Amino acid sequence: MTISTNQQEQNAIFGFHAVESLLKNQIDSVSELLVLKGRADRRLNAILALAKGASHISIRYLDRHALDRQVGDRHQGIVAICSEQLEKDEGDLEDILQGQRESIFLLILDGVTDPHNLGACIRSANAAGVTAVIIPKDKSARLNSTALKVACGAAQYTPVVRVTNLARTLKWLQQYGIWIVGAAGEAEETIYQAEFTGSVALVMGNEGKGLRRLTREHCDSLVKIPMSGDVSSLNVSVATGVCLFEALRQRQNT
């Protein structure tokens, strides 16, 4: 099977963690496994055993050069080719929210453009028990192979939903009873004063421009992480981790 570079970026998942959790959680989405020729170790064998149990997955052994051509040299000897897109669309959002038994906890990324940041945010979101991560269709990193690798398998557990119009989605979430909290360095209220219990969505801004005006206007409150150094802001994935884990602390205490 040959795949175009763009399709390949979206559909090739590599690295042990990412491939293993994909096979464990969404095995139906995997059509092919590319394996580095000559590699044989316990970790790889465990992955191969998972794939061999599924008759729809074909396994191909490639030399390093051919594997590097697929995804660059960061594959750790294993690449899964997905036949289905892993991102969900907004039509899936209501089902995801209705399937949640505890109070809803969302992470919304308002135009995070670096796939490394996206992957790191998804990883933290999963670790903090977030229900779903929402990203806009435009001006946002996709859930590509880099983001999936950085997310370290988290995207196979925590759904990532792409929405066409983020402002409209924020309004819909408010009507659904979800409190929207935007993170912005210049806010008055700190994350330690704010309340993150109940059904909450945390909104983080773009790496350079922060929250867009329309997004900001749709937030019910804005919060800051107090800082005492010289820089004016944190990296978005670091800020996401700080906010999510303050929220988790509060949610676990109630």
Ligand X SMILES: C[S@@+](CC[C@H](N)C(=O)[O-])C[C@H]1O[C@@H](n2cnc3c(N)ncnc32)[C@H](O)[C@@H]1O
Q: Which of 35, 210, 218, 241 binds ligand X (CB under 6 A)?
A: 210
Give the shortest CB-125-to-ligand X separation in angstroms.
Answer: 14
Spell 51-85 as b/e; 16+ CB within 10 A means b. beeeeebeeeebeeeebeebbeeebbbbbbbbeee
DSSP lists the bridge partners of residue 13 as 80
Choice from 204, 219, 244, 247 touching ligand X (CB under 6 A)? 204
220 — alpha (psi -120 to 50), left (phi > 0) or beta?
Answer: alpha
12 CB neighbour count, 10 Å cutoff: 22
Q: Is 225 annotated as a binding residue?
A: yes
Residue 239 engages ligand X in binding (rule: CB under 6 A): yes
Does 205 show up as a binding residue in the annotation? Answer: yes
CB of 243 to ligand X, least distance (A): 7
Asked if 227 interacts with ligand X (CB under 6 A), we say yes
- Tokens matching residue 53: 């149990």
- Contact with ligand X (CB under 6 A) among 120, 236, 244, 247: 236
Is there binding between residue 154 and ligand X (CB under 6 A)?
A: no
Interacting residues toward ligand X by CB under 6 A: 183-185, 204-205, 207, 210-211, 224-225, 227, 233-234, 236, 239
